[in-house]
A and B are shown apart, each in its own frame.
Chain A
Amino acid sequence: MSEKLLEVKDLYVNTEDKEILKGINLTMNKGEIHVIMGPNGSGKTTTANAIFNNPGYQKAGGSINFNGEDITNLKTDEIARRGVFMSFQLPEEIPGVSVTNFLKFAKNKITGKPVKIFEFKAELKKYMEELHINPEYAERSLNVGFSGGEKKKNEILQMLVLDPKFAILDETDSGLDVDAIRTVSRGIELFKNEENAVLIITHNTKILEYLKVDYVHVLVDGKIVTTGSAELARQIEKEGYEKYKG
C-alpha cells in the first residue's frame, strides 16, 4: 500500500479578486510522478504557488495536507522546511550571493543542522557535473547573467542539493532545447526515489518522453477535468485541449 504524501482538497484560490482555482482535488503518494497539463491561464502556476502559500494568492477555500500535516496556512519558509520544493518558471536573480553560499545557507535552514563544508562542496560538484553546469558557476552570483536554460538547470541543481520530499517543477521544460530537456530529465531521475514525489507542471510533452509518469491531470479553467496515464499526455499532444473546454 503506497503512502500518501500530498492531499489537496477542494482548493479555491483567487488573485486580485479573480477566481483562478475552482475546487482542485489532488492526491499524490510517495514514489509517484504526476503531471499537470493545461492551456495558458488554466491555473497551473497558481496551483504551485497556492501549495507554497505565496502571499500573492488568496485561498478562498479548501485545504492542503502534506505528510500528515495541514500546511494550508503555513508560511512559505515553514512549508519549505517540511520538505517542499518548487522549481520556478522565472527564477529570481540575487546579485552578490554565490550559488555555493546560497545553497549552503538554504541547506542549513532546511535541515536545521550545520553544513559540513567539504562534503557539501563535493556533493555540489558532483551534481553540477551530472547537469553539465560549468563549475565556475558555483562561485557566480545566483542566476545573475544566466541564460534561461542555465537558470532552469540551476533550479534542478538546487532540488538535488536540498533533497526535498516533494518537488513541484513549474514549466521547468519550457523554452529549453532538446539537450537541456534531456539534462533536466536526468536530474529528475537522479532525484527520484521511493520516498519522494514530483509534480511536473507543463504544457508540452517532450519531457514526458524521458520520464516514467504515473498520472497525468488535465487542468482547464481552474478545475481538473480528467486524469489518466501517460497515454493521456500523448493524446493531448495530438488533439489539444479543445474537447475539455466548456
Chain B
Amino acid sequence: MAKTNLEEINRNIYDIRNEDNYDYKIKKGLTPEIIAEISAQKNDPEWMREFRLKALEVYNSLELPTWGPDISELNMDEIATYVRPKTKLSSSWDDVPDDIKNTFDKLGIPDAEKKSLAGVGAQYDSEVVYHSMKEELIKQGVIYTDMETAVREYPELVKEHFMKCVPVYDHKFVALHGAVWSGGSFVYVPKGVKVDIPLQSYFRLNSPESGQFEHTLIIVDEGASLHFIEGCSAPKYNKVNLHAGCVELYVKDNAYLRYSTIENWSKNMLNLNTKKAIVGKNAQVDWVTGSFGSKISMLYPMSILNGEGAKTEYTGISFAGKGQNLDNGFKVVHNAENTSSIVNAKSISKNGGKCTYRSLVRIGENAKNSKALVSCESLMLDDISISDTIPVNDIRNDEVEFSHEAKIGKISDKTIFYLMSRGLSEEDAKAMIVRGFAYPISKELPVEYAVEMNNLINLELEGAIG
C-alpha cells in the first residue's frame, strides 16, 4: 500500500520571518543587573522593580521540574528576555511599521477586528504595538489595555491581582516570568457588564534566541461576562526560543469568562506557559485551547473553583508531529459545594510525535455534591507516534460524581478504503478523519479561528503520496 509522506509541511504565512529589526535588545542571560536594566527600560514603578528582583531570587532558588519532557537543552544564558520592537504603542493600524503590519495582515488580525471583535491587541516580540477597543465598551467602563499601561494607570487593581492567582513560587518558569515579564493584556469588565463580542490579543515572537513573557490579567467582576481570544505564533529559527507567558483570570461571583486560545508556535519553541483561573460563586470559566507547533509544550491551564456552584469546562486539542513533545492537560480544584468541571481533551500525533494528557482533578473535603467528568481521546496516525494519559485524581469526599474516560485510536485501513471509494485521495481521507476528530473543539472556536485550525490541520497533513 502506498504510504503517505506527511513529513514536509509548509507553515507558509506563519514562517514569514522579518529581519530582526529591534530598537533595543537586552543582553542574553539572567542577572540582577539585567533584570534592573529591563525594569529601567520599561519605566517600572518601584514596586514592580522590587517584584522582578524578588522573582529572580525565587527563580534561582527553584529547580527545573523533575517530571515531564526533557527541557535541559534550554540555556537561559543564551536567551534574550527582552526585545523591544522599533515602534511605539499605537491605536491606529496605519501607524504600525510596515514589516510588523504586514506580518499581522497576513495573519488576518486587522480583518478579524473589522469583522467580529470588540477590541484587539497585537504584541510583537516583547511589546504591544497595537491596541484598540470599541467606543461603547469604553463608555461602559471596560478596560482593555496593554499590561504596562495598566501598571501605570490602574496601580490598585494591578497590585491587588498581579501574580496573586499564579504566585511566583508556583514553579521555576513562573518565577522567571515574574522577573522578566513584558507586554500582554489587561482586561477589567465592571460589575454586570456583558461584553457580547470577543476581545482578542495576538502575540507574535519574531526575534531569534529570545523569549516572550507576556502577562495577561483579566478580571471579570460580579455578574459580568466576557469572551477573550488569544492567538500566538512565531517563525522558525534554528535556535531555541522560549515562551513563558502567564495568564491570570479572576472570575468573580456570577460572572462568566470564556478564554479561547490558538497557539501555533514554530517547531523550535519551548512553550512553558502558565494559565490559571479563580472562579467565584455560581461563576463559570470555559477554556477552549488548540495547541499546535512548538518543540516542547508543558501547558496545564487550571481552574480553582472557590465559590459554591462554580463551574468550569475545558475543551482542548493538541497536535504533535515529528520531533514534538506536547505535554498538555488541565487541572481543576474543587474547593466548594456544588461545583462542577467537564473536560473534553483530544490529541493527534503523527510521524513519531508525542502527546501526553497530564491532568489533576482535586475535590476537597468540603466540596460536597460536586461533579467532575473527564474524557480524553487520542488519535495516532501511524505506528511510531506516541500518546499517553497521566491523570492524577485526588477525591477527598464521597458525595461526588466523578468519571475519567480515556480512548486511544488509530485510523484504520478500512476507513481509508471507504473514503477512497468515494473519490478521496489517501491524503484527503486522512485529513477528513482528523478534521472530524477535531470538530468538537473547532466548533467551540469563533469561525475565523475554526478556519485557521482546519488550515493548520491541513498544513500538518500536507505532503505527496510516495
Chain A residues near B (Cβ < 8 Å): 52, 54-56, 75-77, 79-81, 85-86, 88, 91-92, 94-97, 102, 105-106, 109-110, 141, 158, 162
CB distance from B144 to the nearest CB of A (A): 34
4 A-B pairs with least C-beta separation: A96-B436, A96-B439, A109-B423, A76-B420
Q: Report the separation of the CA atoms of residues A85 and B415 in the bound assembly, to the nearest whole angstrom.
A: 15
Contact B418 A80 (CB under 8 A): no
Considering the complex, give the chain A residue whose CB is closest to the CB of B428: A109
Residues of B within 8 Å of A106, CB to CB, are 422-424
Considering the complex, give the chain A residue whose CB is closest to the CB of B436: A96
Given known A-B contacts A56-B417, A92-B415, A77 and B426 have beta carbons under 8 A apart = yes
A-B contact count (CB 8 A): 76
> Which of A55, A96, A97, A162 contacts B417 (CB under 8 A)?
A55
Q: Report the separation of the CA atoms of residues A30 and B187 in the bound assembly, to the nearest whole angstrom.
A: 69
Given contacts A55-B413, A94-B419, A158-B422, 12 further A-B contacts (CB under 8 A): A52-B421, A56-B413, A75-B420, A77-B425, A77-B426, A85-B421, A94-B433, A95-B437, A95-B439, A96-B439, A102-B422, A110-B422
Interface check B36, CB cutoff 8 A: no
Residues of B within 8 Å of A102, CB to CB, are 422, 432
Contact B2 A75 (CB under 8 A): yes
Considering the complex, give the chain A residue whose CB is closest to the CB of B2: A75
Residues of B within 8 Å of A75, CB to CB, are 2, 420, 425-426
Task: Tally B residues with Cβ within 8 Å of A.
Answer: 25
Considering the complex, give the chain B residue whose CB is closest to the CB of A90: B414
Given known A-B contacts A55-B417, A56-B413, A76-B417, A96 and B440 have beta carbons under 8 A apart = yes
Contact B432 A94 (CB under 8 A): yes
Considering the complex, give the chain B residue whose CB is closest to the CB of A81: B423
Q: Report the separation of the CA atoms of residues A215 and B433 in the bound assembly, to the nearest whole angstrom.
A: 39
Contact B420 A77 (CB under 8 A): yes
Q: Report the separation of the CA atoms of residues A105 and B432 in the bound assembly, to the nearest whole angstrom.
A: 9
> Which of B413, B426, B435 contacts A96 (CB under 8 A)?
B435
Q: Report the separation of the CA atoms of residues A52 and B422 in the bound assembly, to the nearest whole angstrom.
A: 11
Q: Report the separation of the CA atoms of residues A75 and B465 in the bound assembly, to the nearest whole angstrom.
A: 12
Q: Report the separation of the CA atoms of residues A4 and B245 in the bound assembly, to the nearest whole angstrom.
A: 68
Chain B 399-412 near chain A by CB (<8 Å), digits 1 or 0: 00000000000001
Q: Report the separation of the CA atoms of residues A162 and B417 in the bound assembly, to the nearest whole angstrom.
A: 17
CB distance from B464 to the nearest CB of A (A): 14
Consensus secondary structure, chain A interface: mixed
> Which of B1, B423, B436 contacts A95 (CB under 8 A)?
B436
Interface check B376, CB cutoff 8 A: no
CB distance from A166 to the nearest CB of B (A): 12
Contact A92 B418 (CB under 8 A): yes
Q: Report the separation of the CA atoms of residues A91 and B419 in the bound assembly, to the nearest whole angstrom.
A: 10
Chain B residues near A (Cβ < 8 Å): 1-2, 412-415, 417-426, 428, 432-433, 435-440
Contact B423 A80 (CB under 8 A): yes
- Ordered by A's residue number, 5 sampled pairs between the chains whose C-beta atoms are within 8 Å are A55-B417, A77-B426, A80-B423, A94-B436, A97-B433
CB distance from A86 to the nearest CB of B (A): 5
Residues of B within 8 Å of A86, CB to CB, are 421
Residues of A within 8 Å of B420, CB to CB, are 75-77, 80
Residues of A within 8 Å of B435, CB to CB, are 96-97
> Which of B2, B424, B440 contacts A105 (CB under 8 A)?
B424
Q: Report the separation of the CA atoms of residues A116 and B1 in the bound assembly, to the nearest whole angstrom.
A: 34
Q: Report the separation of the CA atoms of residues A88 and B437 in the bound assembly, to the nearest whole angstrom.
A: 22
CB distance from A21 to the nearest CB of B (A): 18
Q: Report the separation of the CA atoms of residues A81 and B432 in the bound assembly, to the nearest whole angstrom.
A: 18
Residues of A within 8 Å of B424, CB to CB, are 77, 105-106, 109
Q: Report the separation of the CA atoms of residues A81 and B414 in the bound assembly, to the nearest whole angstrom.
A: 19
Contact A88 B418 (CB under 8 A): yes
Considering the complex, give the chain A residue whose CB is closest to the CB of B414: A92
Residues of B within 8 Å of A141, CB to CB, are 436
Considering the complex, give the chain B residue whose CB is closest to the CB of A77: B420
Considering the complex, give the chain B residue whose CB is closest to the CB of A49: B417
Q: Report the separation of the CA atoms of residues A79 and B425 in the bound assembly, to the nearest whole angstrom.
A: 11
Residues of A within 8 Å of B439, CB to CB, are 95-97
> Which of A79, A94, A110 contacts B415 (CB under 8 A)?
A94
Contact A54 B417 (CB under 8 A): yes
Residues of B within 8 Å of A81, CB to CB, are 423
CB distance from A229 to the nearest CB of B (A): 30
Residues of A within 8 Å of B1, CB to CB, are 55
Residues of A within 8 Å of B422, CB to CB, are 80, 102, 106, 109-110, 158, 162
Q: Report the separation of the CA atoms of residues A162 and B423 in the bound assembly, to the nearest whole angstrom.
A: 10
Q: Report the separation of the CA atoms of residues A201 and B143 in the bound assembly, to the nearest whole angstrom.
A: 69
Q: Report the separation of the CA atoms of residues A81 and B424 in the bound assembly, to the nearest whole angstrom.
A: 9
Most buried by A among B426, B432, B437: B432
CB distance from B457 to the nearest CB of A (A): 11
Considering the complex, give the chain B residue whose CB is closest to the CB of A52: B421
Contact B436 A97 (CB under 8 A): yes
CB distance from A113 to the nearest CB of B (A): 12
Most buried by A among B414, B422, B424: B422
Contact A76 B432 (CB under 8 A): no
CB distance from B421 to the nearest CB of A (A): 5
Q: Report the separation of the CA atoms of residues A162 and B424 in the bound assembly, to the nearest whole angstrom.
A: 12
CB distance from B42 to the nearest CB of A (A): 45
CB distance from A55 to the nearest CB of B (A): 4
CB distance from A16 to the nearest CB of B (A): 13
Considering the complex, give the chain B residue whose CB is closest to the CB of A143: B418
Residues of A within 8 Å of B419, CB to CB, are 92, 94
